[in-house]
Chain A
Amino acid sequence: MSGKNNAATVTLPSAQEIVMERIFNAPRELVFKAYTDPDLIPRWWGPRRYTTTVDKLDVRAGGVWRFIQHDAAGNEFAFNGVYREVVPPARLSYTFEFEGLPGHIIVETVTFEEHAGQTKVSVTGFFESAEDRDGMLTSGMEEGANESNDRLAELLATLV
């Protein structure tokens, strides 16, 4: 009974934005809690084959978050950001940065709307520039270093 029957809808309203929506069978207080509770985030935020730990989580405007994904070989991939807006249980906005590729910031805005006991979650990923979005792929070019590309490949592997 998992939600395969209601896959996310994806739209690309501009070159800088991707929007994903999904409906969950739960009241929005519960969904919002899953997004903001340090005990619940590890249960869904990372890929199944990684263990996710919450290093920092200060859910208020200006507060910092930092999550770490650990693989079986002991590698760690850390992600961090700063909350920009926190409006429980309706809206969250925060920056997202992979520490392996610093400087490429995505602003994610999540809204929670409840209808008849179900909650529509909408996630907007906003790339500060289209170049930044594309730069996630090609950022290794500037330094001419393969390391960034390797790390990017590792990141992409963690995200799939």
Chain B
Amino acid sequence: MLAEQPLTLNGVAEHFEISRPAISKHMKILAECGLVVIRQRGRERYCEVQPAKLNEVSTWVEQYRQTWEQRFDRLDEYLNQQSREESQHERKK
């Protein structure tokens, strides 16, 4: 929604069935996280998305994915090594 255009708090509130103070509170949290910026223009305050910060969020998901990818690689190595050792053991018998 905000990706398309900056909106005022009232503009945002129109899209949700929650109160304007609740929207304001949520927006304040997003602003504290740096995901949106609230700018004063004349009498209205507009909320704008900060795409770079949203990218950081997807970066985090990416980091999490890489962590598991790396664990999977090491686990795979270990399991392959185990089965090689086992087959050598079998041959010796």
Q: Looking at the complex, which one of B56, B66, B79 makes contact with A137 (CB distance below 8 Å)?
A: B56
Contacts of A48 in B (CB 8 A): 70, 74
Nearest neighbor of A22 in chain B, beta-carbon distance: B72
Is the pair A159, B75 in contact by a Cβ cutoff of 8 Å?
no
- Known interface pairs A26-B83, A123-B68; A44-B63 also in contact (CB < 8 Å): no
Is the pair B64, A3 in contact by a Cβ cutoff of 8 Å?
no
B24 within 8 A of A: no
- Give the A-binding residues of B (Cβ under 8 A): 29, 32-35, 53, 56-57, 59-61, 63-80, 82-83
The B contact surface, by secondary structure, is: helix
Q: How far is the CA of A12 from the CA of B57 in the complex (A)?
A: 13
Is the pair B79, A34 in contact by a Cβ cutoff of 8 Å?
yes
Contacts of B53 in A (CB 8 A): 138
Q: Please give me the 5 A-B residue pairs with the lowest Cβ-Cβ distance, nearest first.
A: A3-B76, A44-B74, A26-B79, A138-B33, A159-B67
Contacts of B68 in A (CB 8 A): 8, 20, 123, 125
- In the complex, what's the smallest C-beta–C-beta distance from B70 to chain A, in angstroms? 6
Is the pair B75, A44 in contact by a Cβ cutoff of 8 Å?
yes
Is the pair A18, B29 in contact by a Cβ cutoff of 8 Å?
no
- Give the B-binding residues of A (Cβ under 8 A): 1-4, 7-8, 10, 12, 18, 20, 22, 24-26, 30-31, 34, 40, 43-45, 47-48, 121, 123, 125, 131, 133-138, 141-142, 156, 159-160
- In the complex, what's the smallest C-beta–C-beta distance from B42 to chain A, in angstroms? 28
Contacts of A34 in B (CB 8 A): 75, 78-79
Is the pair A2, B34 in contact by a Cβ cutoff of 8 Å?
no
Q: How far is the CA of A34 from the CA of B34 in the complex (A)?
A: 40
